Amino acid sequence: MGQIFSKKANEIPSRILLGAIIVLTATVAGIWYYFSPEYTDVGYAPEQPVPYSHELHAGQLGLDCQYCHTNVEVSKQANIPPTQTCMNCHTQVKANSDKLTKIRESWETGQPVEWVRVHNLPDYAYFNHAIHVNMGVGCETCHGRIDRMEVVAQQEPLSMSWCLDCHRNPEKYVRPVEEVTTMGYEAENQLEMGRKLVAKHNITPPTYCQGCHY
């Protein structure tokens, strides 16, 4: 009796196995990337109730970050500026602009403007803004070149692996504390300066789970 299947049929199981491995690998890789903060969070730029331009205020006008975000050195969270801060200028500058209607309404009623948060860590991750600023982590390290943004967008993934890269190699990122708010800061030799700052301030970022997850 002749053979029902040809010799090529012997290759079918191995081809199916190889195909399954390729599909599974592609699926895992796709989920790994497309469900990661690099894909889902980077570029997030929500529409704000008032069209505030950091490019104008921080870039062209040169306002220091701490003029508006006054608590960055002392608070766990960087504060959103109160309406009073806006009105310090806008009682005189563009006082009747239609774009500032909600600012004027907030000023008159005492109700805060409901700004939309851009950078938001999950509740299970503990982050203290002040300790990072006081150790020389620049604003642009996490937030990007804010002074070039007409609309603020998230520039970094703020993922665990991204944070750990800095915690394991702080000398690559720290700068003199007085340069924390300087946009476009570049050291002549970052690693050499960074090592000196790490030693000077005794910077020892935690890399164990309990350091950020309570």
Q: Is 201 helix (H, G, I), strand (E, B) or coil?
A: coil
Q: Domain extents for the chain?
A: 11-39, 53-80+121-211
- Phi, psi of 157, deg, nearest 5: -70, -25
pLDDT of the residue at 156: 95
- Among 82, 159, 148, smallest CA distance to 119 is for 159
Counting Cβ atoms within 10 Å, is residue 143 exposed (0-12), middle (13-18) or buried (19+)? buried
Q: How many CB atoms within 10 Å of residue 118?
A: 16
- Among 69, 38, 55, 65, smallest CA distance to 138 is for 65
H or E element in which residue 173 lies: none
- Alpha helices (H) along the chain: 12-34, 37-40, 54, 65-68, 83-90, 101-109, 129-134, 139-143, 160-168, 190-200
Residue appearing with tokens 């921080």: 58
pLDDT of the residue at 37: 65
pLDDT of the residue at 158: 94
CA distance 41 to 22: 28
Structure token digits, residue 90: 């806008």
Angle (CA) 41 45 67, round 5°: 110
CA distance 116 to 54: 15
* Mean pLDDT, the chain cut into blocks of 10 residues (214 residues total): 65 78 79 65 93 96 94 91 95 94 96 94 92 96 96 95 96 97 96 98 95 89
Provide the whole-model pTM.
0.80
pLDDT of the residue at 26: 79
Burial 175-198 (b: 16+ CB within 10 A, else e): bebeebbbbeeeeeeeeebbeebb
pLDDT of the residue at 2: 56
pLDDT of the residue at 177: 96
